[in-house]
Amino acid sequence: MPTARERARAQTTEAILAAARTQLAEVGAAALSLRAVAREVGMVSSAVYRYFPSRDELLTALIIEAYDDVGEAAEAAAALVAGRSPRERWLAVWRSVRAWGLEHPAQYALIYGSPVPGYAAPQDTLPAAGRVGVVLGAIATAADGGVVGDDDVAAAVAPDVPGTLGIDPRLAPAAVSAWTLLFGTVGFELFGQYENVVIDREAYFDHVAGTAATSVGIG
């Protein structure tokens, strides 16, 4: 059982994270100020350092949160359409990622934009980053389209990727490419690259999702 001190510590940590989330959504990652976060929580900036050793560590915590959040959104979307066809499920997951990005642009920029801290302690973020990929891999495998590539390219992908995604190794390059295209498309929309280029973003996105589904063997 947690002592009073431990409970207080967890509570304060959560309060700091909550304030940081608010700040992040309001001013973005670059302008996120540890002192402003401290003011919002009602304590002095030096006290925050008892909980997070630096601003970068606070950002890293927010990064992991964001990865988990978008992963949960994708999993929830997949669960909602569990009975439908693979193509419908694939589209639903793609849409959920786009919707999450539109709703949390600062978080999206934090995880899929340029890395702000010195490559943000990659080890900590790696497990959380793959959750969306796992969801997509399960759908593609369920479809079992049989369309794939050759073994040469398959060797370019890390050997444990097919295992964690639950897919055929020969499907891995196409799956990684589809995963890249998903986040690339959402990122381009969010970061303004589609300004004066794509008018109907929903229609365009659904179309891309469809071709990507085909590319991983979903009929």
Chain residues that interact with DNA, rule: CB under 7 A: 3-5, 8-9, 12, 32-36, 42-47, 49-51, 53-56
Instruction: Find the helix packing angle between 105-112 and 4-27, rounded to 10°.
Output: 100
Long-range CB contacts (within 8 A, 24+) of 197-205: 205/94, 205/95, 205/98
- For the record, the structure tokens of 130 come out as 């793959």
In the list 17, 78, 97, 176, the residue contacting a second copy (rule: CB under 8 A) is 176
CA-to-CA distance for 71 and 68, rounded, in angstroms?
A: 5
Please report whether residue 183 would count as binding a second copy according to CB under 8 A: yes
Please report whether residue 151 would count as binding a second copy according to CB under 8 A: no
Angle at 26 between CA 202 and CA 189, to 5 degrees: 20
CA-to-CA distance for 111 and 122, rounded, in angstroms?
A: 11
Please report whether residue 29 would count as binding a second copy according to CB under 8 A: yes
Please report whether residue 155 would count as binding a second copy according to CB under 8 A: yes
Residues of span 72-101 touching a second copy by CB under 8 A: none
Which CB, 9 or 87, lies closer to a second copy? Answer: 87
Handedness of CA 79, 14, 17, 121 (dihedral sign): negative
Long-range CB contacts (within 8 A, 24+) of 29-37: 29/59, 29/62, 29/106, 29/109, 29/110, 29/116, 30/116, 32/58, 32/59, 34/58
Please report whether residue 129 would count as binding a second copy according to CB under 8 A: yes
In the list 53, 156, 163, 219, the residue contacting a second copy (rule: CB under 8 A) is 156
Residue 27: Cβ within 10 Å count: 13
Q: What is the DSSP letter of 199?
A: S
Least separation in angstroms between CB 9 and DNA? 4
Least separation in angstroms between CB 138 and DNA? 40
Number of residues that bind a second copy (CB under 8 A): 53
Which CB, 4 or 152, lies closer to a second copy? Answer: 152
Please report whether residue 34 would count as binding a second copy according to CB under 8 A: no
Please report whether residue 12 would count as binding a second copy according to CB under 8 A: no
Please report whether residue 116 would count as binding a second copy according to CB under 8 A: yes
CA-to-CA distance for 205 and 209, rounded, in angstroms?
A: 6
Which positions lie near a second copy, rule CB under 8 A?
Answer: 28-30, 109-110, 112-116, 119-120, 122, 126, 129, 149, 152-153, 155-161, 173-174, 176-177, 180-181, 183-185, 187-188, 191-201, 203-204, 207-208, 211, 215
